[in-house]
């Protein structure tokens, strides 16, 4: 609740595994042993009004960080799911489905006074009643023997190999997170988990070529998250995990789907400012630096949309002058946020943080990319932020399609 308001970024999908508020001093069975159901102070309920107020606060903050066509998945049981459903409707979300996750290996009910608890619910909702959402109908159909995927998913609980870096008391299996991510996002989508725990959502997202931001209050669990992220940096380990995740027809189906998944149709373009006298130096360098937006010596807007860019174009002018593309461009290999102390030659800069752009090759120069820009056509009507950044000589993000539309025909090179 403290961090989300600081982000000036919108997400394509949210998965939330909030407290179920079931820590009531009851007992359960785990690995054949009787154990307490208590998870921690964060999982204790102070009554119905407390639960409703908590869900209203975090859902309101998350909703503000969702794109208009974004969807959210929220897991729960009878202890919290009715409150979540009520608040979703109250805030204007449209509930799409309530998935019932049937565990293939649930713990027994040792009291023999109730049916065995073997399911959890996952509400799927979109932000807006009227804005359509994305659903990969064809893939879900493939995973269900070429029949429409039902809202009951029979998937195993967490496997031992998923705890190689440590254990979280409410850790979700990769099989569940992988399915819902593939069902509701496209490649390179940004996914948020505001109760990230040991970041199963992030691992599933990265294995599926999606991007991820997780938030948690517990340093212990964030350290597990970091270890898990480092673990899948090894391509062999990442491939091994993809082959182990349940819920696919065969071991290779996940990997093959990722390989064949269509990339986004439009190229995201970063626009970077360079003074005319410095343009010659671009041809001999494979790096370029953007000033990061700062507030009190800290990066204010992160993650920034600039990280979506795959192509870099250089412009000059601005403020009272006509903005022109200089013809210098290159494909982007990677973008990384760095402190000035980590960049040779910028240690004494007044700017604390930079985006380091590593290019696939040195800048090329094209006469076809030398033209004046109509800034009103460079960004959509709702994107006032990027327009202002361009005037401040800061990195701005647009698309290749909009670059072409922004050409000032009167000054364009034939």
The topology under which CATH files domain 4-260 is: Rossmann fold (3.40.50)
Measured at the CA of 86, the angle between CA 78 and CA 102, to 5 degrees, comes to: 35
Q: 373-379: list long-range contacts, CB under 8 Å, 24+ apart.
A: 373/315, 373/323, 373/324, 373/325, 373/406, 373/407, 373/408, 374/406, 374/407, 374/408, 375/323, 375/406, 377/402, 377/405, 377/406, 378/402, 378/403, 378/405, 378/406
What pLDDT sits at residue 319?
64
Whether the Cβ atoms of residue 29 and residue 107 lie closer than 8 Å to each other = yes
Dihedral of CA atoms 222, 13, 332, 349 in degrees, nearest 10, equals: -50
- State residue 411's pLDDT score: 45
Closest-CA residue to 304 (of 397, 186, 381): 397
Q: Are 266 and 403 in contact (CB under 8 A)?
A: no
Phi, psi of 176 (to 5 degrees): -70, -50
Per-residue pLDDT of the chain (414 residues; tens, 9 = 90+): 999 988 878 899 999 999 877 655 554 555 555 555 555 565 565 667 888 999 999 999 999 999 999 999 999 988 889 999 999 999 999 999 999 999 887 877 766 788 888 899 999 999 988 899 999 999 999 999 999 999 999 999 889 999 999 988 889 999 999 999 999 999 889 999 999 999 999 999 999 999 999 999 999 999 999 999 999 999 999 999 999 999 999 999 999 999 888 766 678 898 888 888 888 888 888 899 887 766 665 555 544 577 778 899 998 876 667 788 898 999 998 888 888 999 988 999 888 888 889 998 888 888 888 888 877 788 877 677 777 777 777 778 888 888 887 775 444 443
pLDDT, tens only, 83-140: 999 999 999 999 999 999 998 878 777 667 888 888 999 999 999 888 999 999 999 9
The pLDDT assigned to 412 comes to 43
**Which pLDDT belongs to residue 264?**
64
What CATH class is the domain 268-405?
alpha beta
Element of type H or E holding 101: strand 94-103
Spans of all domains in the chain: 4-260, 268-405
Say how far apart CA 332 and CA 267 lie, in whole Å. Answer: 11
The helix or strand, by DSSP H or E, that contains position 141, with its residue range, turns out to be: helix 137-142
Are the CB atoms for 294 and 352 separated by under 8 Å? yes
């Amino acid at each position: 609740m403290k961090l989300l308001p600081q982000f000036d970024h919108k997400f394509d999908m949210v998965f939330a595994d909030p407290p179920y508020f079931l820590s009531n001093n009851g007992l359960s069975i785990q690995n054949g042993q009787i154990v307490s159901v208590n998870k921690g102070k964060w999982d204790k309920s102070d009554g119905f009004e407390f639960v409703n107020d908590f869900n209203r606060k975090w859902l309101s903050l998350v909703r503000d960080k969702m794109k208009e066509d974004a969807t959210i998945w929220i897991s729960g049981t009878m202890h919290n799911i009715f409150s979540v459903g009520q608040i979703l409707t109250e805030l204007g979300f449209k509930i799409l489905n309530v998935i019932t996750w049937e565990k293939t290996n649930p713990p027994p009910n040792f009291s023999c006074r109730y049916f065995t608890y073997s399911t959890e619910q996952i509400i799927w909702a979109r932000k807006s009643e009227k804005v359509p959402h994305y659903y990969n109908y064809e893939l879900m159909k493939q995973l269900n023997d070429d029949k429409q995927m039902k809202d009951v998913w029979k998937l195993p609980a967490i496997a031992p190999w998923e705890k190689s870096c440590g254990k979280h008391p409410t850790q979700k299996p990769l099989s569940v997170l992988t399915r819902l991510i593939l069902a509701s996002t496209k490649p390179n989508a940004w996914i948020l988990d505001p109760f990230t725990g040991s970041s199963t959502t992030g691992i599933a997202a990265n294995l599926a070529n999606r991007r991820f931001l997780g938030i948690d209050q517990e340093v212990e669990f964030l350290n597990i998250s970091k270890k898990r992220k480092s673990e899948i940096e090894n391509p062999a380990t990442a491939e091994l995990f993809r082959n182990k995740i349940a819920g696919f027809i065969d071991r290779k189906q996940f990997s093959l789907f990722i390989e064949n998944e269509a990339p986004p149709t439009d190229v995201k373009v970063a626009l970077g400012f360079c003074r005319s006298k410095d343009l010659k130096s671009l041809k001999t360098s494979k790096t370029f630096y953007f000033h990061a937006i700062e507030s009190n010596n800290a990066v204010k807007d992160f993650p920034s949309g600039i990280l979506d860019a795959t192509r870099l174009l250089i412009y000059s002018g601005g403020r009272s002058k006509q903005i022109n593309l200089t013809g210098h461009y290159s494909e982007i290999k990677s973008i990384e946020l760095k402190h000035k102390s980590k960049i040779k030659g910028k240690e004494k800069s007044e700017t604390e943080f930079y985006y380091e752009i590593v290019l696939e090759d040195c800048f090329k120069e094209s006469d076809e990319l030398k033209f004046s820009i109509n800034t009103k056509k460079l960004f959509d009507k709702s994107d006032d932020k990027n327009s202002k950044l361009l005037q401040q000589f800061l990195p701005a993000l647009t698309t290749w399609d909009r670059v072409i539309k922004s050409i000032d025909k009167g000054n364009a090179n034939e």
